[in-house]
Amino acid sequence: MDIFLIFLSGLFILLGIVGSFLPIIPGPLTSWVGILILSITQSIFIDKIYLIISFIIAMAIFVLDYFIPVLGAKKFGGGIGSIIGSTIGLVCGIIFIGPFGIFLGPFLGALLGELVVNRKNKKGALKAAIGSLIGFLTGVFLKFVVSIAFAFFYLKSLMNFKINDLLF
């Protein structure tokens, strides 16, 4: 049963890393679920305090992820059009362009979204699109760093598991 839980845990960790880039999957929270599943195993011990602290971090990043693109767009003069446009652009960019669409999609989506809302100010729309892109990339970076940290913790726990297995 432990082998199945370890495998399932690793699957959630990988899904969390992918979720750092996709807005549909909450990256750090998904990776944290992987750590939680790993803590259920009888072979690997994970301190409850670590689980609580890592959950608080994952939740904080989850909440911040909704505010960072908004702050980036607002800082550069954007509005709701650039925020909604960047999210739609991300999804369309990934679908139609592939991995490169992760960067190009939010920028073009924010630009088009801001142009639809505020047609007269093209220079302001470009500035808002840049701000939205910076905010989006900042959120992606934070989610990715936390998910990778959880992945390293997972791998470290597995290495300890292997060493303990060999010793006993």
Q: pLDDT tens-digit profile of 14-41?
A: 999 999 987 778 899 999 999 999 999 8
121 C-beta neighbours (distance < 10 Å), count: 14
The pLDDT mean for the chain works out to 85
**CA angle centred on 37, ends 18 and 8, rounded to 5°:** 55
Contacts 24+ apart (CB under 8 A), 155-163: 157/38, 157/44, 157/46, 158/6, 158/44, 160/44, 161/6, 161/43, 161/44
| Averaged pLDDT, 88-106 | 82
Q: Are 12 and 31 in contact (CB under 8 A)?
A: yes
Nearest-Å Rg of the Cα atoms of the chain is: 19
The predicted model scores a pTM of: 0.79
